[in-house]
Amino acid sequence: MEKVFYEVNSLDKKCYDKLALTEDILMEHAASSIADFIEDKFEEKVSVLIVAGPGNNGADGIALARLLYKKYDVKLYLPFGAKSQMARIQLQRAELLGVPFVQSITSSDIIVDCLFGSGLNKDLDETSLSIINSLNEQKAYKIACDIPSGVNIKGQINQEAFFADVTVTMGALKVALFLDEAKDYVGKVKVANLGVQRTIYEEETNIYLLDKEDMKLPFRSKKNAHKGSFGHLNVIAGCKKGAGVIAAKAAFGFGTGLVSVVSHEDIDLPYHIMQTHFLSDNCTAIAIGMGLGKYEKDEIKKILEEDIPTVVDADLFYEEVLLDKLQKDVVLTPHPKEFVALLKLCDIANISVKHLQKNRFEYVEKFCKKYPNTVLLLKGANTLIGKADKIYINSFGTAILSKGGSGDVLSGLVASLLAQEYNSLDAAITASLAHAIAANNYKKANYSLIPADLVEEIRRL
């Protein structure tokens, strides 16, 4: 996993104060990182349009133009001039070298957006909006310097933003790159070296980006084993029984030795899934909430009072009976609408889904601070997993998963690992990664995934 930060100005300052690295040195390395990326990916002489703003993000772009000049067909566009001290210094260097300037957006093979970056702290004016819209209309490979222009430091897009194929962000990863609404704009994310290795540049943080290596699949190494060695999951089926059945099938395919669906009504189940009317005596994990609907509250309360690892989903996020469970070691898997209901239920906030989506990190932190024993898995384009003071980002999310039943599969995966004695945080992280990576591995049309396909892909991991 990689470290992620709300801001990196303090990290830059450390370079100035403690390492005797100047702003100029950091800027040269920033520009060199983008230049290296272009040189690795594109042949010489292709056309490059660099659109540079008046501040230091623009200064990075001007320095980039100087580095690429002659090897590529470089054109530099400064719609607002050069205003910061570093922008003026870089402009003088570019002019002395003879870098060509243009007075408008021209057709190019590559466009590099260096307008505002993470320095954007206000709404865009009409001219800026017009420039960004024009850049988005161009058929070119698009690179954003630090953060796509129009995305603010929180990752919010209040008007419009530059659509990048890749974002080369400076020094370290930033939270703004992983807010859900920024996902379509940032493209692939690469980190620029600013003159020292990231292990030196970075400090401690409480936010981390997950990678594939953080997925610890439940492979079996013990030879002397039987089905009971791998847990017994009980899935509580409600009035929408299909949700519980999907979760049960997913859990069985993810390694649980025994899976039972708990229901007072007979359900048509695969032969390898059992049915019971009450919790099993040897139950090692519980999945509850998916498709629950109307259910006897006293019975739910009794189930939640059991000292058994539990994953909670869907309908229970609206019920007060859940509150006592939040003080214990439990995994919650809400989507945004359910999380908004949960925040209100817990007396943390009364907000809209729209407000939540613009401030996902803030509210995950607030919830986890109030309930430090609980693991929260907030679904989204970038899933956030929080426990106590730590947040983990799963950025492998894909629109392929935007289908009914996908969330039930995820709940089943988490519950499966809980049944197999994973701790709650590891279960949430591994299940979330397996869920998303399996979806990305799906080879058929991206609109066609059904839960059974997803379970099958998970079995191939």
**Can you say which residues are annotated as belonging to the binding site for (6S)-NADPHX?**
56-60, 117-123, 146, 243, 291, 335, 408
- Binding-site residue numbers for K(+) are 57, 113, 149
- Distance in angstroms (rounded) separating the CA atoms of residues 393 and 205: 13
**Among candidates 85, 86, 67, 94, which has minimal Cα distance to 77?**
94
Q: Which of 211, 112, 212, 129 is nearest to 166 (CA)?
A: 112
CA gap 32, 16 in Å, rounded: 19
Summarize the annotated binding site for AMP as residue ranges: 379-383, 407
Give the separation between CA 373 and CA 327, rounded to whole angstroms. Answer: 6
3-state secondary structure string, the chain? CEEEECCCHHHHHHHHHHHCCCHHHHHHHHHHHHHHHHHHHCCCCCEEEEEECCCHHHHHHHHHHHHHECCEEEEEECCCCCCCHHHHHHHHHHHHHCCCEECCCCCCCEEEEECCHHHCCCCCCHHHHHHHHHHHHCCCEEEEECCCCCECCCCCECCCCCCCCEEEEECCEEHHHHCHHHHHHHCEEEEECCCCCHHHHCCCCCEEECCHHHCCCCCCCCCCCCHHHHCEEEEECCCCHHHHHHHHHHHHHCCCCEEEEECCCCCCCCCCCEEECCCCCCCCEEEECCCCCCCCHHHHHHHHCCCCCEEECHHHHHCHHHHHHHHCCEEECCCHHHHHHHHHHCCCCCCCHHHHHHCHHHHHHHHHHHCCCCEEEECCCCEEEEECCEEEEECCCCHHHCCCCHHHHHHHHHHHHHHCCCCHHHHHHHHHHHHHHHHHCCCCCCCCCCHHHHHHHHHCC
- Residue ranges for the binding site? 56-60, 113, 117-123, 146, 149, 243, 291, 335, 379-383, 407-408
Cβ distance 177 to 2 under 8 Å? no
